[in-house]
Structure 1
Amino acid sequence: MCRWLAYSGAPVLLDTILYKPEHSLIDQSLHARMGVETTNGDGFGVGWYGPHMETPAVVREIGPAWSDRNLREIAAHVRSSLFFAHIRASTGSAVQQTNCHPFRHGRWMWMHNGAIDEFHLSRRELALAVDPSLYPYIEGSTDSEMMFFLALTLGLEDDPPGAVARMVGMIERTGHDHGVEYPLQMTVAVTDGRRLWAFRYSSQGASRSLYYSTRVETLRALHPDLAFLRNMSEDARLIVSEPLGGLPGAWNKVPESSYGVVQPGEDALLPFVPQPA
């Protein structure tokens, strides 16, 4: 499977999140503790929104993140208030640049950990369900990118939680038609550059790990002696496949079959239920 993180808050250098934590995403590319695989070396990607930019920049490579000099160079010089990072362990599709996350279309970014079980059985039907005007923009061969374009087809622009619920409903129905007992496993992050949604769901009810960070003001009260917390913005939020360190009280598990939204004002954590497409 894969590991990923999403950050929202005051602008920070990417390496502050990608490299510096005790169990950073780069460390997880070699030493993941909660994934199916310990090593996630089948490519990586980062995507970020720059100042006054409506669409994100995306950099993706097929080599392992732990040894990529260009990623280290970018991370030390790029500052962003909203970015995605993903390290890949292929579930069967080719190791190629167009199969690396995050995926982008217009102002939207998407990344995924998990799989459509027996994807080869349902690939044709799911591809035919993608809006014909969107289909030419599918570049790779992954189930993850197919999920993204199905969500776009099913209303992501206007109703992200509803579109993802309809996408899941379609995948489960199609999988069941082919005799697949548990068609889908997913943790998904999606953003339009303003709000960020994260989903944890699986057909079996045994989803991959996903965590969100505790509010900074709460952490300051718990750990008043930690200087680095005084420099963090109060609106800083992280959603991660696994915690970036062992600071007590810093990480909270996203409940099974639920989704969260990070947005101006109050964040929300809500139940997630698939819907008929």
Structure 2
Amino acid sequence: MRQSWAPGDMRGGGTVNADGFGVGWYPPDGREPVRYRVDRPMWSDVNFAALAEVTRSPAVLASVRSATIGMPVVETAAAPFSDDGWLFAHNGVVRGWPESVAHLAGEVPVANLLTMDAPMDSALLWVLLRHRLRKGADPAEAVTSLVADVAEASPMSRLNLLLTDSEQIVATTWTHSLWTRVGPGRVEVSSEPGDDDPAWTEVPDRHLVLARPSEVDLRPLAEAAGGPTTGAR
């Protein structure tokens, strides 16, 4: 499986992804995922090409960053975020940060907030999602409920989330672009098509994506959440 999170100019995103990038992958021997994150443009990194050339993995998550104004440009602000065998990325923005979602932060232990990767919206989304997963929530349920809660608290947010444990991909479209491509034994999920292959299929807005090797299931987020979605229309 391959997941690439590349914010572009589609549906109001950034146009130059120069604020860092990150890649997370799962070693073939089943160990915890490995990450490579930097706070500079991909084209200025002299090491990554050589590293990528010799890396083999059953699942990879890659992300390039165009930072929202006011958010820090530091290495730890670049996705993917990781813990407990998961890799996570967010493409979008939480409007009204941080006041709009401050009450949601109250559901997690203070120590988790004090140790999150960076003082930014994507890092908080990961802390909130990780907390729900640790409480035993099904991954699709955890992602769906988080999108619903944040959209209600912060209308007009863009909430494309992607979560993987190398065996499955759970992703959402919420006012941002998302595409999938399925091939023999593999599935790709990307914010934009990586080439002109007609096999790329755009995911409708406000949908949940559940993917495993060679198959993709789409569900309206309203249906996945068990009721009408809230927030921006």
Once residues 39 and 210 of structure 2 are traced to their aligned partners in structure 1, the CA distance between those partners, rounded to angstroms, is 30
Displacement after TM superposition at 1:264 (Å): 5.2
Match of 1:7 in 2: 2
- Give the residue type in structure 2 aligned to 1:199: T
Query: Which residue of 35, 40, 46 corresponds with 2:23?
Result: 46
Match of 2:62 in 1: 85
Query: Which residue of 155, 160, 172 corresponds with 1:199?
Result: 172
So what's the TM-score if we normalise by structure 2? Answer: 0.85
Match of 2:125 in 1: 147
Query: Which residue of 168, 171, 176 corresponds with 1:208?
Result: 176
Deviations 1:53-85 (A, max 9, x none): 241001100010122111112111111110100
Question: Are the aligned partners of 1:126 and 1:146 in contact in 2 as well (CA < 8 Å)?
Answer: no
Give the alignment of 1:115-264 within 5 angstroms: 115-132=93-110, 134-155=112-133, 158-175=137-154, 182-201=155-174, 207-213=175-181, 215-216=182-183, 234-247=184-197, 249-263=198-212
- Give the residue type in structure 2 aligned to 1:256: D
Once residues 261 and 241 of structure 1 are traced to their aligned partners in structure 2, the CA distance between those partners, rounded to angstroms, is 15
Displacement after TM superposition at 1:45 (Å): 0.2
Question: Are the aligned partners of 1:169 and 1:275 in contact in 2 as well (CA < 8 Å)?
Answer: no
Percentage identity across paired residues of the two chains:
28
- Give the residue type in structure 1 aligned to 2:195: G
Once residues 256 and 99 of structure 1 are traced to their aligned partners in structure 2, the CA distance between those partners, rounded to angstroms, is 26
Displacement after TM superposition at 1:173 (Å): 3.6
Displacement after TM superposition at 1:155 (Å): 3.4
Match of 2:230 in 1: none
Once residues 221 and 146 of structure 2 are traced to their aligned partners in structure 1, the CA distance between those partners, rounded to angstroms, is 12
Once residues 271 and 60 of structure 1 are traced to their aligned partners in structure 2, the CA distance between those partners, rounded to angstroms, is 33
Once residues 275 and 98 of structure 1 are traced to their aligned partners in structure 2, the CA distance between those partners, rounded to angstroms, is 35
Deviations 1:16-50 (A, max 9, x none): xx9xxxxxx8xx78xx5536322100000000000
2:33 matches 1:56: yes
Match of 1:228 in 2: none
Question: Are the aligned partners of 2:22 and 2:63 in contact in 1 as well (CA < 8 Å)?
Answer: yes
Displacement after TM superposition at 1:265 (Å): 7.1
Once residues 161 and 132 of structure 1 are traced to their aligned partners in structure 2, the CA distance between those partners, rounded to angstroms, is 25
Displacement after TM superposition at 1:133 (Å): 6.0
* Alignment gaps of 5+ in structure 1: 1-5, 9-17, 19-24, 176-181, 202-206, 217-233
Once residues 254 and 130 of structure 1 are traced to their aligned partners in structure 2, the CA distance between those partners, rounded to angstroms, is 31
Once residues 209 and 174 of structure 1 are traced to their aligned partners in structure 2, the CA distance between those partners, rounded to angstroms, is 22
Once residues 113 and 39 of structure 1 are traced to their aligned partners in structure 2, the CA distance between those partners, rounded to angstroms, is 14
Deviations 1:194-246 (A, max 9, x none): 21111112xxxxx1111001x33xxxxxxxxxxxxxxxxx1121111111111
Query: Which residue of 90, 106, 128 corresponds with 1:112?
Result: 90
Once residues 38 and 173 of structure 1 are traced to their aligned partners in structure 2, the CA distance between those partners, rounded to angstroms, is 27
- Give the residue type in structure 1 aligned to 2:83: H
- Give the residue type in structure 1 aligned to 2:194: L
Question: Once superposed, what is the RMSD of the aligned Cα atoms?
Answer: 2.5
SS at match of 1:66: helix
Displacement after TM superposition at 1:170 (Å): 2.4
Displacement after TM superposition at 1:140 (Å): 0.6
- Give the residue type in structure 2 aligned to 1:272: L
2:219 matches 1:270: yes
- Against the structure 1 CA distance between its residues 192 and 185, is the aligned structure 2 distance closer, same or farther, given a 3 Å change threshold? same
Q: How many residues align?
A: 222
- Give the residue type in structure 1 aligned to 2:177: S
